[in-house]
Amino acid sequence: MLTAYYDTDCTLCGRSMLWVKSWWPKQVPLQWRPYGEARGTAPRWDPDEMLLREGSHWYHGADAVLRLMSEGPLPMTLAAAIAGLPFVRPLCRLVYMWIATNRWSF
């Protein structure tokens, strides 16, 4: 089971959650939790990053978004596969951190 932790005070985060729920495959269970519930349980906790837990494995930031995209419709799955290339992932992380840092201005 996947558990996504997101910032409930952030409007961009809330809209993103609703967007993911609109296409998420029903056969893959996904729970949404407030970000504060991850404090103390996540190995690394940064308030600017989305967290995704799959069993005992934690995904942070861009890696969490790419993991969610890998379960999505074909265009998103292809995008996640391309992002898995060694030179693309660091760029994804930079873009994610810029969005996460500036999320209050959206």
In degrees rounded to 5, what are phi and psi of residue 33?
A: -130, 150
Rounded to a whole number of angstroms, the distance between the first and last alpha carbons of the chain is 30
Q: Which residues pair with 59 in a beta bridge?
A: 52
pLDDT digits (tens, 9 = 90+) for 31-80: 999 888 887 788 777 767 889 999 999 998 888 888 888 888 888 888 88
Proportion of the chain above pLDDT 70, given as a percent: 96
Closest CA to 3 of 71, 80, 77, 59: 59
CA distances from 83 to 12, 74, 76, 91, 103 (A): 22, 14, 10, 9, 22
Confidence (pTM)? 0.80
